[in-house]
């Protein structure tokens, strides 16, 4: 298993992207337009010297996989692995509120009743990478 991966939460309009190291954690995360997926992944794969791309297995994963399979870095295709996305958005929202606690009067409302003010697709990508780094039985990788 590689210690460094690029993780993608695919979507129709936008994608969450994260570069995650097994022990050092998140090195890069961002939400991008789906139209920029191939360009962004190619740049990150070169910049961080990454060969493995993790892809959430739900919304538009087939289309995203087809796009990513055409990327070659140093004349080699990227290794694409699917990761189970089940309830990853819920986990991402929870993580968002842990890192960005509500302020003012909003802190009186339970975060489970609030919607983050920004997309959390990048947090989903981080969670997918964390699932990948777990033991093989727990991580849901295909």
Q: Where are the beta strands (DSSP E) in 46-140?
A: 52-56, 72-73, 76-77, 79-83
Residue 142 has pLDDT above 70, yes or no: no
Predicted pLDDT at 111: 93
Q: Where are the beta strands (DSSP E) in 34-97?
A: 52-56, 72-73, 76-77, 79-83
Helix (H, G, I), strand (E, B) or coil at 61: helix
Residue 140 has pLDDT above 60, yes or no: no
Predicted pLDDT at 95: 97
Predicted pLDDT at 135: 63
Q: Rounded mean pLDDT of the chain?
A: 93
Residue 137 has pLDDT above 90, yes or no: no
Residue 57 has pLDDT above 60, yes or no: yes
CATH architecture of 4-139: 2-Layer Sandwich (3.30)
Worst-scoring range by mean pLDDT, 58-62, 63-67, 79-83? Answer: 58-62
pLDDT in tens, 31-46: 999 999 999 999 999 9
pLDDT in tens, 88-124: 999 999 999 999 999 999 999 999 999 999 999 999 9
Going by their DSSP bridges, the two strands 76-77 and 79-83 should be labelled as unpaired
């Amino acid at each position: 298993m590689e210690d460094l991966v690029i993780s993608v939460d695919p979507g129709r309009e936008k994608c969450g992207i994260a570069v995650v190291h097994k022990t050092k954690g998140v090195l890069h995360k961002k939400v991008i337009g789906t139209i920029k997926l191939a360009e962004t992944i190619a740049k990150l794969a070169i910049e961080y010297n990454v060969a493995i791309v993790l892809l959430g297995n739900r919304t538009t994963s087939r289309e995203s996989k087809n796009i990513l399979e055409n990327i070659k870095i140093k004349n080699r295709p990227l290794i694409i692995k699917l990761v189970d996305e089940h309830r990853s958005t819920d986990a991402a929202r929870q993580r968002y509120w842990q890192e960005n606690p509500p302020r003012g009067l909003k802190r009186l409302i339970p975060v489970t009743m609030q919607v983050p003010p920004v997309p959390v697709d990048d947090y989903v990508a981080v969670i997918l990478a964390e699932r990948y780094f777990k033991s093989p039985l727990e991580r849901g990788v295909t």
